[in-house]
Amino acid sequence: MGAMNIPRLLGQLQDADLAADACREQIGRISAELNSDALAPERAALENMRDSLKNLNHQLRETTAQADDLTSRIQVYEEKLYSGRITSPKELSTLQKDIELLKGHRAPHEDRALELMEAIDDAEDGIARAEATLQRHKEALEVRRRELGEKMRTAGAELSGHEARRAALLTEIPAEAAEQYRLLRQQKGRAVARVEQGACRGCGIAVTSAWLHRARAGEIVRCTNCARILYLE
Ligand SMILES: [Zn+2]
């Protein structure tokens, strides 16, 4: 038993546990990033742009149909006007007024159609740009995902290493000391505190020389203030 310094072994066990915790935390962060859909807002924005384009095309069809309808009515009137069948000046004048009236009704539809065509061009350009950007981001994300996969494997391997070290240390640590360690770790996060310059690193309080002597000898001594197991390098 003389060669076995239990507090020091517990210190090593704690190092392994803290390192394993850090690995698990890293793995958690990586998984969260891998599971998140980073491009969702961009895809949603593109979907909205496509919907607006659909809407603009629909409006253009409606406006064009209305203009076309007026055009065919104008044509009917014009045919009548130039047919030579109508000779009454009053009737001809009425016919001309009707044609002007219909053309007046048609003009806003034609203006609107031009505006819509311009808006459609702009929308199509915007969609093409957004699609190209999304494609670039998809490619960048693929690279990032491969990196994350690599980091995940590294962290997994490191974690296994720390777990193996923990298991090996536990074969050297008496069950009672291991249980004390487990309870303290549960309560305080850190069960073991190094003594540096005569003070407990866990809470900063000075450790008496008698305590130091016993800790140096490998006895399990707990800090009188924070109750952590003290160990010296
Ligand atoms: Zn302390």
Residues 111, 212 share a domain: no
**81 CB-near residues (< 8 Å, 6+ apart):** 92, 95, 96, 99
Q: Which tens digit of pLDDT belongs to each residue from 198-208?
A: 999 999 999 99
Greatest Cα pair distance in the chain: 133
What would the mean pLDDT of 146-170 be, rounded to a whole number?
98
CA of 21 to the centre of ligand 1 (A): 22
CA of 166 to the centre of ligand 1 (A): 24
Domain boundary among 133, 151, 168: 168
Q: Domain count of the chain? A: 2
CA of 229 to the centre of ligand 1 (A): 8
Residues 156, 84 share a domain: yes
Position 233 pLDDT exceeds 90: no
CA of 178 to the centre of ligand 1 (A): 19
Position 36 pLDDT exceeds 50: yes
Position 189 pLDDT exceeds 80: yes
Confidence of residue 215 (pLDDT cuts 50, 70, 90): confident
Residues 156, 47 share a domain: yes
CA of 222 to the centre of ligand 1 (A): 8
Domain membership of residue 6 (yes or no) is no
Residues 216, 135 share a domain: no
Residues 46, 156 share a domain: yes
Q: Residues 186-200, buried b or exposed e (16+ Cβ, 10 A)?
A: eeeebbbbbbeeeeb
Residues 105, 206 share a domain: no
Domain range holding 115?
Answer: 33-168
CA of 207 to the centre of ligand 1 (A): 8
Residues 133, 193 share a domain: no
Domain boundary among 140, 168, 196: 168
The continuous run of DSSP H or E covering 200 comes out as strand 199-200
Position 10 pLDDT exceeds 90: yes
Position 147 pLDDT exceeds 60: yes
Average pLDDT, the chain: 95
Domain membership of residue 199 (yes or no) is yes
CA of 199 to the centre of ligand 1 (A): 8
Q: Report pLDDT for 104.
A: 98
Q: Which tens digit of pLDDT belongs to each residue from 40-78?
A: 999 999 999 999 999 999 999 999 999 999 999 999 999
Residues 119, 94 share a domain: yes
Residues 144, 39 share a domain: yes
Domain boundary among 145, 168, 191: 168
Residues 179, 163 share a domain: no
CA of 228 to the centre of ligand 1 (A): 6
Domain membership of residue 13 (yes or no) is no
Q: How far apart are CA 131 and CA 120, in angstroms?
A: 16
Q: Which residue has the tokens 């981001």?
A: 137
Residues 40, 125 share a domain: yes
CA of 191 to the centre of ligand 1 (A): 10
Position 149 pLDDT exceeds 50: yes
Radius of gyration in angstroms for the set of CA atoms belonging to the chain, rounded to a whole number: 41
> Beta strand 199-200 with 192-196: parallel, antiparallel or unpaired?
antiparallel
CA of 8 to the centre of ligand 1 (A): 16
CA of 187 to the centre of ligand 1 (A): 14
> Which domain CATH number covers 99?
1.10.287.1700
Q: Report pLDDT for 2.
A: 46
CA of 167 to the centre of ligand 1 (A): 27
Residues 149, 125 share a domain: yes
Position 3 pLDDT exceeds 60: no
The backbone torsions φ and ψ at residue 224, rounded to the nearest 5 degrees and listed phi first, read -70, -20
CA of 211 to the centre of ligand 1 (A): 12
CA of 127 to the centre of ligand 1 (A): 63
